[in-house]
Amino acid sequence: MIYLDYSATTPVNLEVLTSFEKVAKDYIGNPNSLHKLGSDSYELMNRAIEQMASLLNVKSNELIFTSGATEANNLAIKGICYKYQNRGKHIITTKLEHSSVSEVMHYLSNRGFEISYVNLLDNGLVDIEHLKSLIRDDTILVSICHVNSEVGIVQPINEIGKALKKYSKLFFHVDGTQAVGKIPVDLTNIDLYSFSSHKIYGLKGVGCLFKQASIDLEPLLHGGKSQSIYRAGTPSLALIVSFSKALRLSLENLDEKYEHIKKLNDLIRNELSKYEHIKINSNEHCLPHILNISYVGINSETFMHALEQHGIYVSSQTACSKLDGPSKTIMALYNDKKRAISSIRISLSHLTTEEEINLFLKCFDVEYEALSAVLGE
Ligand code: PMP
């Protein structure tokens, strides 16, 4: 098997799994129980959260644990909109968002909120001048993904955050799910930032929302005392501890891992650009972890399943958007439907080897030739 779908989810790091297992076995108390078992769990939870906060250079009361980035994005966007709707009902976002942001925008637009989409420059980066021109008196939120999940475009969130600082009535939310553990993240100019454990070799079922301490939110879940007043429910201690470990490990040797992945990306890019019907959708502003291509004329799923016969796993668009038709990201970037219905995402890890890529390229060639007969028909 050659797994090239690391942006959909990553295999769990065994050290992380061991820490999950150990905590789940040894710490049976509810962190909110007042007896010793409870306080032992509470202390461990706080230590894990403090470690995570120090890795991100934020305060521990600024981290809210959720079930994943989908919930973190929902909490950030709906939480701000419900809390601050008396200030205004205008939101600005991009056409490059993951469905856990774009679907929330759709939901809110049916409930009296107005959504504006910022223009993208030809290179796919947000047009900051246009963004500033969209800001109105009733704008309460700007939400922009740090790294797009389909093609990997990295937005200059720091520059955007700085530009937004002077608009004191609005908040800046960033979906950082595809960025954390891949590139350094600086949260100084960001109000809210979402990310997820299963994208960084942690377990599925836990995510996090960073929220600057001074900002208030309307919770989505109401109930008893929890890890945060913004999210009720018994804290999942073992998931939180293992998430903290996953984050620490993912940030180790970041540069080295990046360089390894960049080398593999260059290798694939060089080889695939020789094929007549292949268009490379990821440009120089994209993370090397994601390489998106289109075999123009061949439907994404057809090519994906052709590779699957060789035990090679890639994505058609993203795992979360499989029923959505042409890729919205590719449409936003290239406005080309043929390209948008044939896009494939190859996503790489520091665990990916050159041998795997060479084998992938051989199988790619076989399937490219086989399917080119279909193009000729
Ligand atoms: N945002 C982005 C950019 C993502 O790639 C994903 C996962 N595909 C999510 C949000 C949702 O994350 P989760 O699976 O943790 O809910």
Distance of alpha carbon 133 from alpha carbon 320, whole angstroms: 32
| Percent of the chain whose predicted confidence (pLDDT) is above 90 | 95
Distance of alpha carbon 332 from alpha carbon 278, whole angstroms: 19
Average of pLDDT values for 132-156?
Answer: 98
CATH 3.40.640.10 range(s) for the chain read 14-251
pLDDT recorded at residue 79: 98
Distance of alpha carbon 75 from alpha carbon 81, whole angstroms: 10
Distance of alpha carbon 226 from alpha carbon 66, whole angstroms: 11
Shortest-distance Cα residue to atom 4 of ligand 1: 177
Asked if residue 51 lies in contact with residue 249, where contact means CB atoms within 8 angstroms, the answer is: no
Which of 177, 178, 322 for mutating ligand 1's site (highest number of atoms within 8 Å of CB)? 177
Give Cβ neighbours of residue 112 (< 8 Å, ≥ 6 apart): 89
Distance of alpha carbon 327 from alpha carbon 318, whole angstroms: 9
Which atom of ligand 1 is least distant from the CA of 97? 3
pLDDT recorded at residue 69: 98
Asked if residue 178 lies in contact with residue 147, where contact means CB atoms within 8 angstroms, the answer is: yes
CATH 3.90.1150.10 range(s) for the chain read 253-374
- CA–centroid distance, 309 to ligand 1, in Å, is 27
- CA–centroid distance, 256 to ligand 1, in Å, is 25
Which of 320, 321, 347 for mutating ligand 1's site (highest number of atoms within 8 Å of CB)? 320
pTM of the model: 0.97
Average of pLDDT values for 332-358?
Answer: 97
For 15, the token pair is: 């050290």
286 has which bridge partners? 153
Looking at every residue in the chain, the average pLDDT score rounds to: 96
Q: Confidence class of residue 375 from pLDDT cuts 50, 70 and 90?
A: confident
Which of 6, 100, 173, 200 for mutating ligand 1's site (highest number of atoms within 8 Å of CB)? 100
- Ligand 1 pocket, residues with Cβ under 6 angstroms: 68-70, 73, 98, 100, 145, 149, 175, 177-178, 196, 198, 207, 318-320
Q: Confidence class of residue 377 from pLDDT cuts 50, 70 and 90?
A: low
Indicate the fold that domain 14-251 takes in CATH.
Aspartate Aminotransferase; domain 2 (3.40.640)
pLDDT recorded at residue 225: 82
- Beta pairing, strands 312-313 & 2-3: parallel
Distance of alpha carbon 18 from alpha carbon 86, whole angstroms: 47
221-266: pLDDT as tens digits: 999 889 999 999 999 999 999 999 999 999 999 999 999 999 999 9
Average of pLDDT values for 150-155?
Answer: 98
- CA–centroid distance, 195 to ligand 1, in Å, is 8
pLDDT recorded at residue 323: 53
Q: Confidence class of residue 139 from pLDDT cuts 50, 70 and 90?
A: very high
- CA–centroid distance, 100 to ligand 1, in Å, is 7
For 129, the token pair is: 């001048």
> Phi and psi at residue 28, in whole multiples of 5°?
-90, -15
141 has which bridge partners? 91, 171
- CA–centroid distance, 41 to ligand 1, in Å, is 28
Does the pLDDT at position 214 exceed 70? yes
> In this structure, which CATH number among 3.90.1150.10, 3.40.718.10, 3.40.1260.10, 3.30.1050.10 belongs to the domain 253-374?
3.90.1150.10
Provide the annotated active-site residues.
Answer: 320
Query: Pick from 148, 156, 150, 204: which is nearest to 176 by CA?
Result: 148
67-94: pLDDT as tens digits: 999 999 999 999 999 999 999 999 999 9
Distance of alpha carbon 76 from alpha carbon 174, whole angstroms: 9
158-176: pLDDT as tens digits: 999 999 999 999 999 999 9
Does the pLDDT at position 152 exceed 60? yes
Shortest-distance Cα residue to atom 6 of ligand 1: 177
Maximal C-alpha separation, the chain: 73
